[in-house]
Chains A and B, each alone.
Chain A
């Protein structure tokens, strides 16, 4: 029994480890690699998929050149974070988690970036933009 738990525990760790390696190498986890990983670890593709989608850090799509992050923490939310996100989705013609067709931007959301006072907050590749509004989104994106 103990053996069994250890084994499956190990496999779980190994899986996360492998996923990290793949992501590091390709910048994302190419969906067609799932079968290969499944073979290697002797588990089903769905098991991998479950773990993969559990962690936000893993992505099945190649990231864009730039990562746009909209804060959806409570403070930013009440100041219109949702609208900002919606507008971003419309502008880039993608949903959160996806990458724009030209491969330029990947859109993400986070829960509080720790600077609530200047919200709503948007970051691009780690650069902060305070008091984001529907209007200045375009100019933010234009910088890239």
Chain B
């Protein structure tokens, strides 16, 4: 379709607005309230244009282009109107600087700073230099204002973490309100009052946190003025350089633009054209990236313990020391733990080192307990191939979404955005979880099922689908007969009883959402059930997805958990995690070398301990050798996100102090121990090897830092796509005699290597409610506990402390926490798998 804009013929897409078309063709139409990702608002009226054959002026941001339309974006008349409008906006905005004649001088030398009051000028505005309002004022050349200036004198709101709200600078464009409602689904902020009293605010003026804010920062990013500004940037200069990176703080792998000033990282913002995140991110990537890199916990230099204390030494000395020591242990007495948050390159070199140089296979990794690892195990047992690659974007096209095992708003934020999009266009959302999720209100069916009954529910749904559909063409599919048999005797009474779903109608409603004409997506994470249960849930989920020709989307955890899983696929011999922990507990592992987080609940004091990490931890403090590893920011890294997307990020700052990339450390150590290869010079040398040696990476060459490519893990092809043997077991998880409550964790991945982000940033700890357990009101009565009381939590394997928050979001018998350390031996690998029987007692 074509329209004429300012005499030029331009190509426009169906349904595109005139303003968007102009933007695409680099024709500038001033606008303030519009944002390409948001619905048109037509509030500011700056974007008015003339349309031939139409009387008056039309806002181009809400005018859909029609074939042959003739539009004029500029004329003396239009300019006059726009200036008038801008004057009106500025009369309620501190604007002295915008129109001050000394402006240029001032920007440069701050010479005339005292000429205008502090509250009325750009000079002290944190937004100065990155302000849309300034840009528009410049473009229109406004230099005086004919209306009396009004200063609203609203107190700056600093009650919440991360950003300040100064509504004296607000122009009521509504962008923040729309992004919060339309894209994030939180609807934390709204227009309050009407007319001249209108302001942006929350219900009853609550804090953002109390109003349900995710602290995603999306509102800050769309705000065209300094009304919403990141607190830590307030007195900072404007970035003089921008670099791109992949966020390492969860399995989404968002692309972020990192702003730097004189070499230091200032800020991180979601990349507009990030393939995964498209201009969105979450609190971690948006506000905590800098903390991650510059944490006070960073390990600065190699250290070894020759006698009593750890002492700093050169890399050479440290490596020699470790090489010598490791030689002294028989192979089967040395254990290795590999982090799932390091790059593919680091992982590959580590595996090679352990397997080829030390001839050992005692290398354990978090990904064995991941959704991928568990499902793969099942698939291998029954000779089935199952695809794990999916695009998050495609979730938004689903008609039915079944979610279980992860509160995705915080654990998989970008998946949530896609789910929200689907829901907003009419998709049915079923949430099956033991407690209320943060945005459960969007669910068509919010099934508060008993923990561990997920598989049964899925099995029952499969039975209904089987009973309904004509399955002749699928009769041959492997495992179908077995599936039929296994779900045959799932009777509705039992399902209702065991899941705790209140009535038959609810189940029938759920069934309807799996009608054959609907495209189905199942989103399954590893949370809230325990490993055995999750195994069943995943199998049942896969089967239901197969039956409905839908898709199973696995919600993995670490930034490179998927990459680790793919790399380790080629090794036949892998040590089982529980076996590893058992061996450690029994003292059969005498030396341990670890690159990943570890919180041991079992007593474990290896005779020789090497910790290679970016941050200090209890383990590092008692290690015999400490190797400072660089972070993602200091080297080129390849990561595979939960979609199976291979992404690469460049180094954005030099190596911190004496730290080195993991692959470098291991390579040098390997050479010290006599290996001839391992002469890698840079990370891309290793990636080339990965491409050659690991089938999943075949053909993925030259992964570049640019965002234009869609590169995915190569998956096994074949006709072995069948059903999995699933156990639709008839038990639910619950407490027991001595430990009557079931503790579930809804997170646990707010760490990067050994850095606990909730410890690093107080604001973050507050919004994640660390150290708090949610307790049902009934249980609170029984335990005689009040809000805010301290309790001791005991499990078979450990003790922890928390503060009580009484909430109906959890059912009786279940307590929920974000993450408690030191409770389970499983927490040797910080994972979300834990559900833990505990008892709760008052006490510090």
Contacts and interface: CB of A to CB of B under 8 A. Distances in A.
Contact of B190 (A42, A50, A55): A50
Interface in B185-213: 186-194, 201-204, 206, 211-212
B204 A44 contact: no
B442 A42 contact: yes
13 contacts: A3-B426, A31-B204, A39-B441, A44-B188, A44-B441, A45-B204, A45-B211, A46-B202, A48-B203, A49-B202, A50-B191, A53-B194, A54-B193
Interface of B: 181, 186-194, 201-204, 206, 211-212, 424-426, 441-442
Contacts of A53: 192-194
A34 B192 contact: no
A123 to B, nearest CB: 22
A44 B193 contact: no
Residue of A50, A53, A55 with highest tally of chain B CB at under 10 A = A50
Interface in A1-20: 1, 3-4
Contacts of B188: 44, 46
B203 A45 contact: yes
Contacts of B201: 46, 49
Contacts of A54: 191, 193-194
A44 B426 contact: no
Contacts of A3: 426
Given A45-B203, A46-B188, 16 more contacts: A3-B426, A34-B203, A34-B204, A43-B441, A44-B188, A44-B203, A44-B211, A45-B206, A45-B211, A45-B212, A46-B201, A46-B203, A47-B190, A49-B203, A53-B194, A54-B193
B787 to A, nearest CB: 16
A55 B442 CA distance: 26
Contacts of B211: 44-46
Q: Provide the main secondary structure of the chain B interface.
A: loop
Given A4-B425, A43-B441, A44-B211, A49 B187 contact: no
A4 B422 CA distance: 11
Nearest to B439: A44
A78 B383 CA distance: 88
A123 B206 CA distance: 35
A38 B191 CA distance: 17
Contact of A47 (B187, B194, B206, B442): B187
B203 A1 contact: no
A16 to B, nearest CB: 14
Contacts of A60: 204
Given A44-B203, A44-B211, A44-B212, A49 B441 contact: no
Given A31-B204, A34-B203, A46 B426 contact: no
Contacts of A45: 202-204, 206, 211-212
A121 to B, nearest CB: 21
Nearest to A60: B204
Contacts of B190: 46-47, 49-50
Nearest to A39: B441
Residue of B204, B426, B442 with highest tally of chain A CB at under 10 A = B204
A114 B529 CA distance: 69
Contacts of A50: 190-192
Contact of A49 (B192, B212, B424, B425): B192
A4 B187 CA distance: 17
Interface string A53-64: 111100010000
B700 to A, nearest CB: 38
A46 B211 CA distance: 7
Contacts of A4: 424-426
A100 B354 CA distance: 78
Closest 3 CB pairs between A and B? A50-B190, A45-B203, A49-B203
A129 B358 CA distance: 98
A48 to B, nearest CB: 7
A53 B211 CA distance: 16
B404 to A, nearest CB: 20
Interface in A34-93: 34, 38-39, 42-50, 53-56, 60
Residue of A4, A53, A55 with highest tally of chain B CB at under 10 A = A53
Nearest to A2: B426
Contacts of B206: 45
A47 B187 CA distance: 7
A56 B197 CA distance: 12
A59 B569 CA distance: 64
A46 B193 contact: no
Residue of A4, A43, A45 with highest tally of chain B CB at under 10 A = A45
A1 B192 contact: no
Nearest to B190: A50
A4 B420 CA distance: 12
A46 B441 contact: no
A46 B187 contact: yes
Residue of A42, A43, A48, A49 with highest tally of chain B CB at under 10 A = A49
Contact of A44 (B186, B191, B425): B186
Given A1-B425, A42-B441, A43-B187, A49 B194 contact: no
A31 B189 CA distance: 17
A54 B191 CA distance: 8
Contacts of B192: 49-50, 53
A46 B189 contact: yes
A46 B94 CA distance: 28
A8 B211 CA distance: 21
A54 to B, nearest CB: 5
Contacts of A55: 194
Nearest to B212: A44
Nearest to B443: A42
B329 to A, nearest CB: 58
Contacts of A46: 187-190, 201-203, 211-212
A40 B187 CA distance: 16
A45 B442 CA distance: 14
A55 B426 CA distance: 30
